[in-house]
Amino acid sequence: MALDAVPLLRNEALTALAAAGDDAALRAWHTAYLGRKDGRLTGILRTLGSLSIEDRKTVGAAATALTLELEAAFEAREQELRRSALARSIETGRVDVTLPARPHLQGGLHPVTQLLRKILDACRSMGFSIVEGPEVELDYYNFEALRIPQDHPARDMWDTFWIDERVAGQTPLLLRTQTSPMQIRFMEEHKPPIRIASPGRAYRFEATDTTHEWMMTQVEILAVDEGLNMGHLKGTLLDLFRRLFGPERRIRLQASYFPFVEPGAEVAMDCYVCNGVGTGCASCHGTGWIEMLGAGMVHPEILENMGIDSRKYTGFAAGMGLERLAMQYYGVPDIRWWYQNDLRLLSQF
Ligand code: FA5
């Protein structure tokens, strides 16, 4: 062994220690130079026996001194690395408590759903039960049982999405064009007194514009009992609209035609923007009135078909489209905006 082995090893070990940049490198360095089994210093101590007594003393003392020096240097380097790791983590994980909080985006109910809930709440408090029915419907319920037979011109009032599949032995399938089929489905199963409100989607094969969508939400109202007349229909609708649009609202019934009611009516409400004045009002296009829904007295033939004695019982029904109602309620000028899902619009409600 060369006598300068210890100083050479010292230089090499200290250079390598300065280059060890993390915990793993530090451990590897310790094993390589100070390891009890295969460490380089242990290697030098093992070969002392081959030296003269004089050299053995010198080299032995130098090796012992280097062991102490390297252990101390190791500890110092270890602490240095810990300090800089801590400083780094403080720097990168710094929290600025003075920053304004990020807004917490919260979802909300669609305005049409909000209005639907208001209407159903009002219906419930007037004694109506809520029932729902299928959106994929049989021609029988959507048309035939409502006195709209095949080839009847009144079918033109409802542009229909037809479904290719058929149920064996049944009339064709379609996407219901209105919620009125629920009148039939309910009267098949229940006898008077009847008071139901039936909400749900209805579909029409429609060219869309500012007031026409191909999908809409309707609420159907049906009441069948002894002695019901147009006065009850009018009173119910007036109460409903006053609850929604304010206690001073008035409504107007105009004769209209739906095959399943007699008499039938288009119901309008006085414009709540101009209070029915009309002149110059964009909301009601200067008429003072806003068309709200179709309604009428349930046709006696339908009651009889459902096994309800039409000499004893009478009924009224109404069907309203919520997207148009919501346009009035929230002051939105284009029906197509509801389902474009633009958050700039929807987040306002
Ligand atoms: C009917 O659907 C009848 N079932 C209403 C009825 C029920 C009459 C019970 C008598 C007794 P109508 O097609 O007019 O009627 O539609 C009713 C409402 O749905 C309209 O007043 C309108 O608010 C809405 N509506 C109709 N078509 C569309 C459409 N394409 N887009 C948006 N809303 C529509």
Which residue of 215, 218, 232, 240 sits with most ligand 1 atoms within 8 Å of its CB, as the best mutation to test the pocket?
Answer: 218
pTM equals: 0.73
Check whether residue 14 and residue 131 sit in a common domain.
no
Check whether residue 135 and residue 213 sit in a common domain.
yes
Asked whether 332 lines ligand 1 (CB < 6 A), one says no
Check whether residue 37 and residue 150 sit in a common domain.
no
Q: What is the pLDDT of residue 1?
A: 61
Q: Token pair of 42, please?
A: 């242990």
Asked whether 139 lines ligand 1 (CB < 6 A), one says no
Check whether residue 157 and residue 297 sit in a common domain.
yes
Which residue of 156, 161, 180, 220 sits with most ligand 1 atoms within 8 Å of its CB, as the best mutation to test the pocket?
Answer: 180
277 φ/ψ angles, rounded to the nearest 5 degrees: -70, -45
DSSP string, 269-328: EE-TTTTT--TT-TTTTTSSEEEEEEEEEEPHHHHHHTT--TTTEEEEEEEEEHHHHHHH
| Number of domains observed in the structure of the chain | 2
Check whether residue 147 and residue 16 sit in a common domain.
no
Check whether residue 155 and residue 192 sit in a common domain.
yes
Ligand 1 geometric centre to CA of 178 (Å): 7
Least Cα distance to 31 among 43, 49, 19 occurs for: 43
Check whether residue 225 and residue 176 sit in a common domain.
yes
Digit-by-digit pLDDT tens for the chain (349 residues) are 667 888 888 999 999 999 998 989 999 999 999 988 888 888 888 888 888 888 888 888 888 898 999 999 999 999 999 998 898 888 888 888 888 988 888 889 999 999 999 999 999 999 999 999 999 999 999 999 999 999 888 888 888 999 999 999 999 999 999 999 999 999 999 999 999 999 999 999 989 998 899 999 999 999 999 999 999 999 999 999 999 888 999 999 999 999 999 999 999 989 877 888 989 887 788 899 988 899 999 999 999 999 999 999 999 999 999 999 998 888 888 999 999 999 999 999 8
Check whether residue 175 and residue 67 sit in a common domain.
no
3-state helix, strand, coil in the chain (%, to 5): 45, 20, 35
**Per-residue b/e over 95-110, b at no fewer than 16 CB within 10 Å?**
eeeeeeeeeeeeeeeb
Domain assignment present for residue 103? The answer is no
CA distance 342 to 347: 8
Q: What is the pLDDT of residue 2?
A: 66
Q: What is the pLDDT of residue 338?
A: 96
Q: What are the residues whose beta carbons fall under 8 Å from the beta carbon of 107, sequence distance 6 or more?
A: none
Range of the domain at 72: 5-91
Q: What is the pLDDT of residue 255?
A: 97
Check whether residue 342 and residue 300 sit in a common domain.
yes
Domain assignment present for residue 106? The answer is no
Domain assignment present for residue 130? The answer is yes
Check whether residue 128 and residue 65 sit in a common domain.
no
Find the CATH number of the domain harbouring 135: 3.30.930.10
CA distance 73 to 79: 10
Q: What is the pLDDT of residue 30?
A: 93
Domain assignment present for residue 144? The answer is yes
Asked whether 178 lines ligand 1 (CB < 6 A), one says yes
Check whether residue 56 and residue 193 sit in a common domain.
no
Q: Which CB contacts under 8 angstroms, 24+ apart, belong to 32-36?
A: 33/9, 33/70, 34/67, 34/70, 34/71, 34/74
